[in-house]
Structure formats: structure tokens, C-alpha cells
Amino acid sequence: MGSPKHLLATLQGAKQDRPPLWMMRQAGRYLPEYRALRETKGGFLELCYDSDAAAEVTLQPIRRFDFDGAILFSDILVVPHALGQDLWFEAGEGPRLAPTLIDTSLSALEAAPQRLNPIYDTVAKVAAALPSHTTFLGFIGSPWTVATYMVAGQGSKDQSLARRLAYRDPKAFQEIIDAIIDVSVTYVSGQIQQGVEAVQLFDSWAGSLSPAQFDQWVIAPNAEIIRRVKALYPDTPIIGFPKGAGSKLLSYAAQTGADAIGLDETVDPHWAHANLPAELPVQGNLDPLALVTGGDALDQAVDHILAAFPDRPHVFNLGHGIVPDAPIAHVEQLIRRVRG
């Protein structure tokens, strides 16, 4: 028998003596070994689609910190790439997609599902190399967040173009959402088949929507993905992370069927514990900037979160991704504090 997978058990509802720990974006720019590898590979997208390199990046933080979970190194925008949009990254400015769906109909795209094959290869390579006690997490971007990039062709502060299209032509917007759902279910299934043990749904822009739009474009599509994946893989836990949802987390938890709920750093963990269903596992929710600061501020922030969940399955994580200037020493301090 291998070592117990504390993270997987927690996501399945088991309360641990100490919470398992991983960090969003833990495979990335704060690590010198990542920066060194990326320099040899060129661009970010080239790294994502090089299965040997992407597997190495996924494993780097596990070797250095022995986190309880390894998260697949990839990007949420491989789904629109598989739907037929062109994808590239502008240095210092982030991702770009073309043609934009504010100007072009979905039917004009030619699907390219083969673009996901290298990522399945990455999953298989990581699964073969992980320590026996480490849980392997896959992920997708949730349909609303992915759609905002597909419509605008890039990220934006308020997702205005996608929100306008959703109001103006809900039928056309629903077609985009449905296409993302279909590819996402296939993509998650492929990740699970190759060795992923749990999946996180990232709805990074969920916080920009009104309650009615949140129900329509966040809850309903995530519920549909979860329903379809669970029909195929009932034992694979799914973490829902609707960033910025605030009090709408309660309806998200009640209606999506997610096995665990990710909390961003703006959520009071004591409020979450008091209001979410009693046995529901939660994940989070340290402010990434508290990690950058370190010292007493970090210790106090960690202790506040730990104190909120004494009787609930809890996965310790950040409230969003680690930022590039987070010092390695502060990550080590976080690990010591959480693991006691």
C-alpha cells in the first residue's frame, strides 16, 4: 500500500489532523528552476504543449516543497484553441485569441481537438512520476471565464464585451457556452483517463456578473459539466472556484454539485464555515500578498484561516495564484505554519 493521499481524502470529505496544502500557480515564475527551463523553451504556449517540459514544470514544486497536490501545468485557453481559435501570448501583455467572437460566429471556427493531445501526454508523464502520497489535480477554465476571452480576444478588467453580448444576444452566447461545455467534458475526461485524480474548475471572472447572470452563465454551465463528468467518473472529486462570487458562493455550492468549494481571499473564512453546508470541503484562502509580505503578517493570516475550519474538511491554499515576486523563504514559512 502506498502512502495516504491526504488531499484526495479531504476532497472526498475526510477531516484531517492538519489540512493538506497546495498553491494555485505553484508551478511557475516564482521558482528559479521554472524560469531557467522557460528560457530554454521560448514562449509560454510552447512550454504548455511540450509534454516533457510541462511535466517537468508540474513536478518542480513537488520536488522542492512536497506539496500534497500537484496541479497540471497548462492554460485555460487551450480549450478555445481546440475549438479553432488561434492562440498566442504577447510578451508582457498576456494571451490573445483570434478571430474574436464579438466579430465572428462560432460556426466559422474549425475545431482542432488534436491540440489537446500533448496535454494528455503531459498528464500521463506526471502521473507516472509523482510520489505515491501526492494527489494529481487537473483543471479547466469554466465556461463563463473562457467565453470572455473568446469573445474579446483577450482579458479585460470588467469583461464588458462578453457581458454585453450575453445581454444582447443570449442565444448566440449560449451557443458559445455550450461549445465550451462539450470540449471541457471531453478534455476533463481525457485528463482523468491519463491519471488526474481530482479536477478544479477555475471561474476567474465570476465576480463581474449580476446575480441573474451568475445563475445563467456560472452556475448552470458548471453544473452541466459536473453532471456529465460525474456520470462518467463518479469518484473523481471536482473543486469549484468561482472567484469573486461573494455571497453567491452559497447558491453555487447548493446548485452545481461541486465536491469542494474554493474560496478567494476576499471571503471571510469564518463566514464561509458558518454558511456553507456543514460537511462540504472548502479550499483556501490566503491572500497571495500576505505570502509576499511574510513575517508576522503571514503567520497571523494563516492562523486566522486555520481557526475557521476546525470541524470541516479543509484544503489550505491561496485565495488566487501565487505572484511571481513571492519569496521562496515565505513559501517555506507558510508550509511550516500550516503543517505545524
Positions marked active-site? 25, 29, 38, 75, 149
Could you give the 3-state DSSP secondary structure of residue 190?
Answer: helix
Size (the chain), residues = 340
Write out the chain's pLDDT in tens, 340 residues: 456 999 999 999 999 999 999 999 999 999 999 999 999 988 899 999 999 999 999 999 999 999 999 999 999 999 999 999 999 998 888 999 999 999 899 999 999 999 999 999 999 999 999 999 999 999 999 999 999 999 999 999 999 999 999 999 999 999 999 999 999 999 999 999 999 999 999 999 999 999 999 999 999 999 999 999 999 999 999 999 999 999 999 999 999 999 999 999 999 999 999 999 999 999 999 999 999 999 999 999 999 999 999 999 999 999 999 999 999 999 999 999 999 9
What secondary structure letter does DSSP report for 17? Answer: S
- C-alpha 128/C-alpha 193 separation (Å) is 13
Instruction: Indicate the angle between helix axes 170-194 and 117-129, nearest 10 degrees.
Output: 40
* 143, 184 Cβ separation under 8 angstroms: yes
Instruction: Tell which phi-psi region holds residue 25, choosing left (phi > 0), alpha (psi between -120 and 50) or beta.
Output: left
Phi, psi (degrees; rounded to nearest 5) at 239: -95, 125
pLDDT at 42: 81
Write b or e for each residue in 237-248: b if 16 or more Cβ atoms lie within 10 A of its Cβ, otherwise e.
Answer: bbbbbbbbbeeb
Q: Which domains does the chain have, with CATH numbers?
A: 6-339 (3.20.20.210)
Q: How many CB atoms lie within 10 A of CB 278?
A: 7
Q: Between 249-256 and 220-232, two packed helices, what is the crossing angle to 10 degrees?
A: 30
**Residue 267: burial class (beta carbons within 10 Å; 0-12, 13-18, 19+):** buried
What is the pLDDT, as a whole number, of residue 1? 43
3-state DSSP helix/strand/coil % of the chain, to nearest 5: 55, 15, 35
Rg (CA), the chain: 19
Residue-level pLDDT at 93: 86
What are residue 165's phi and psi, to 5 degrees?
Answer: -60, -40
Q: How is residue 324 written as a grid cell?
A: 511571481
Residues paired with residue 63 on neighbouring β-strands, in sequence order: none
Q: Quick check: 55 and 34 in contact, CB under 8 A?
A: no
Helix H or strand E encompassing 274: helix 269-275
**pTM of the predicted model, to two decimals?**
0.97
Cα–Cα distance measured from residue 202 to residue 140, given in angstroms and rounded to the nearest whole number: 6
Report pLDDT for 2.
53
Residue found under cell 471541457: 184
Within the chain, what is the greatest distance between any pair of CA atoms? 57
